[in-house]
Amino acid sequence: MTNIIRRFGLMLLLCYGVNVFAQSNYPQVKFVTNVGDFVVEVYTDKTPKTADNFLTYVRDGHYNNTIFHRVINNFMIQGGGYDAKYNEKTSRPPIKHEGVEAKANGAPHNTTGTLSMARTNNPHSATAQFFINVKDNDFLDHQSATQQGWGYVAFGKVISGMEVVNRIKQMPTGPGGPFPSDVPQTQVLIQSATLVK
């Protein structure tokens, strides 16, 4: 019996080790902002098209000198589409919604710090803008192929610097640029977003 328990324990350790190794191989992006830095990892195996889209924007320097233009405490912070003067940046064509893949492959919104793509009412409209969940938002997962059920595509998570994200979520908000509300009254600038791994 003791040998069986030891073998089972060894199997768990090996599985855990393999899982940690696999996760450590995800690409990582460092965001340097005027209120601190944070790092995200990107799930290239779970939502490959969404991950590739995001990483292409990173490599192109698209996110440099953009702002977090929408902040809702106890929900999410959103950025990646506007510069400091609220000019919308040019983006590439929208990508196919991978909500089904995200849910099936274990990339849900039910973890604080989840990285997800922003979009319009059209589920296949995501381009460059992203958001970070600041609470467990599993209701954002894909439910069905109806307008209300498509949900959003989670494609990564914050792995360090969550305290910076929490600092941003608590900032006072109001009107700014073309937006009537939810804009941080102290501007949060993404100075750079670079691939570090």
User: Picking from 136-140, 159-163, 173-177, which range would have the lowest pLDDT averaged per residue?
Assistant: 136-140
Q: Which pLDDT score is estimated for 147?
A: 62
Per the document, the length of the chain is 197
Q: What percent of the chain is helix, strand and coil (3-state, nearest 5)?
A: 25, 30, 45
Residue 148 has a pLDDT of 67
The tokens describing 44, both together, are 């290239």
Q: What CATH code would you report for 27-195?
A: 2.40.100.10
Domain boundaries, the chain: 27-195
Cross-strand bridge partners of residue 133: 76
CA 97 vs CA 49, 131, 197: distances in Å: 9, 15, 26
Tens of pLDDT, residue by residue over 78-131, are 999 999 999 999 999 999 999 888 878 887 888 899 999 999 999 999 999 999
pLDDT tier at 177, thresholds 50, 70, 90: very high
Where is average pLDDT lowest: 40-44, 81-85, 150-154, 164-168? Answer: 150-154
Q: What is the pLDDT of residue 191?
A: 98
Of 54-63, 122-131, 144-153, the poorest mean pLDDT is in: 144-153
Return the exposure string of 33-58: e unless at least 16 CB atoms fall within 10 Å of the residue's CB, then b.
Answer: bebeebbbbbbbebbebbbebbbebb
What pLDDT score was predicted for residue 50? Answer: 97
CA dist 55 and 61 (Å) reads 10
DSSP 88: B
